[in-house]
Structure 1
């Protein structure tokens, strides 16, 4: 595996982790996560909107 691929994989990992943190902070603050963050994390924003509080 070349260095470029290793750094690219690490960059993708950090980007995904950052999106997860941003989404969780938005939910904890009582807000709605950005639709792009949800899509990149594999969630459908329309379905996420239908999730109620329990």
Structure 2
């Protein structure tokens, strides 16, 4: 079980880091970030869409 837990934690780390890079880059390019990336970062996509500018 130890190796599985380690690989799972590493996978989650890479997923979170990827979302932390992808979401702001989409906003800088004038696009809406993917809902999956926002959820990974702990943001509600429906509330994020109400901001109006990105």
Q: TM-score, normalised by structure 1?
A: 0.78
Q: Over aligned residue pairs, what C-alpha RMSD do you find?
A: 1.7
- Which consecutive segments of 4 or more residues in structure 1 shift more than 6 A? none
Q: TM-score, normalised by structure 2?
A: 0.78
Kindly report which structure 2 residues correspond to 1:33-48, keeping only aligned pairs within 5 A, or say none.
33-48=33-48
Shift of 1:40: 2.1
DSSP 3-state at the match of 1:4: helix
Q: Specify which structure has the bigger relative contact order, considering alpha-carbon pairs within 8 angstroms and separated by 6 or more residues.
A: 2
How far apart, in 2, do the equivalents of 1:51 and 1:2 lie?
42
Say how many residue pairs are matched. 53
